[in-house]
Amino acid sequence: MSNVLVFAEHLHKKFSKNALVAVGAGQAIAAQSGGECYAAVFGAGIEDLAKELSEYGVKTVFAVEHATLEHYAPDAHAQALSALAEDKGCDIVVGTASSIGKDLLPRVAVRLGAGMASDITAANDDGTLERPTYAGNAMATISIETPRKVISVRATAFEPATKSSAGTVEKVDAKIDEAALKTKFVSFDETKSDRPSLTEARRVVSGGRGLKNGENFKTVLEPLVDALGAAMGASRAAVDAGFVPNDLQIGQTGKVVAPELYIAVGISGAIQHLAGMKDSKVIVAINKDEEAPIFQVSDYGLVADLFKAVPEMKEAVEKLK
């Protein structure tokens, strides 16, 4: 029997889908191990957040308050999370494979002397875990043999937790050796956008090298994005060419998305890109090359000049609205 401790991310005093996915995965792993599922919320002035999370079926939410934890700082968070897991008798630590999770959880694993499984997509009844490998072309079934385990889960592979029974909230003093900290928070520069978050959007429209330049992202792609109320993404080729910033990149080395609708415009469909979007519910591809690999995974494919097809699609969407 092993208890599970879930690290719940939040931003601007709000939980993202990532946090609720981690809780949902943590509950499933706890049920398989025969233990309880707990959650940890870090920050300053986070009592209300902890109360909110306690309604999602966890036994106890640990509200860990400390000024150093108000913003994510790897050293401080790793110290506090590993100490909390030890103090509360939680042998399994779970978080989402987000940018923060990918940075934090390996540090926690080292501190706990734990084996780690990264970016898992399923937890099996026999205790084994599944994760994609070779850009998703193969699935590996793995087992962590150490007494303590650290697991990061792919946000698109698990259902987010829903409100159910209410647990308790326990305030906990963070155990942080400030003299040992090697990094500190300086500033947070956030990209402001009226569009939905790329990893949480129901609809995503992505552009590739076929758009030819960054100006065409604005004049050709953005009108369709806005007409659909979608988030905008891009292939690695478009990012590497400097058409758009790298926070829009979708793929193996970018963000992983699984929206209800994914429209790929001028994207050939390299394995690197498919790894980040192939779990989308409906995939639409627009490319003038009928041999483009993207058509092999798309539900609907249009072999056409994107500079003509995309404006026509935008007009059709506006007529329907």
Average pLDDT, the chain: 94
Q: pLDDT tens for residues 125-173?
A: 899 999 999 878 899 999 999 999 999 999 999 999 999 888 999 999 9
The CA-atom distances, in angstroms, between 68 and each of 16, 61, 63, 264 are 21, 19, 14, 42
Contact indicator for 16, 49 with CB cutoff of 8 Å: no
Q: Looking at residue 190, what is its pLDDT?
A: 74
Q: Looking at residue 136, what is its pLDDT?
A: 82
Q: How confident is the model at residue 179 (pLDDT cuts 50, 70, 90)?
A: confident
The CA-atom distances, in angstroms, between 82 and each of 63, 89, 110, 259 are 15, 11, 9, 33
Q: pLDDT tens for residues 233-289?
A: 999 999 999 999 999 999 998 999 999 999 999 999 999 999 999 999 999 999 999
Q: Looking at residue 220, what is its pLDDT?
A: 97
Phi, psi of 23 (to 5 degrees): -65, -45
Q: Looking at residue 282, what is its pLDDT?
A: 98
Specify burial of residue 183 (Cβ count, 10 A radius: 0-12, 13-18, 19+): exposed
With a CB cutoff of 8 Å and minimum separation 6, the contacts of 89 are: 3
In the structure encoding, which two tokens stand for residue 210, read together? 């076929």
Global pTM?
0.87
Residues composing the chain: 321
- Other C-beta atoms lying within 10 Å of the C-beta of residue 33: 18
Q: How confident is the model at residue 321 (pLDDT cuts 50, 70, 90)?
A: confident
Collapsed DSSP state (helix, strand, coil) of residue 169: strand
Q: pLDDT tens for residues 197-219?
A: 898 899 999 999 999 999 999 99
Q: Looking at residue 1, what is its pLDDT?
A: 78
Q: pLDDT tens for residues 90-99?
A: 999 999 999 9
DSSP 257: -
CA distance 169 to 40: 10
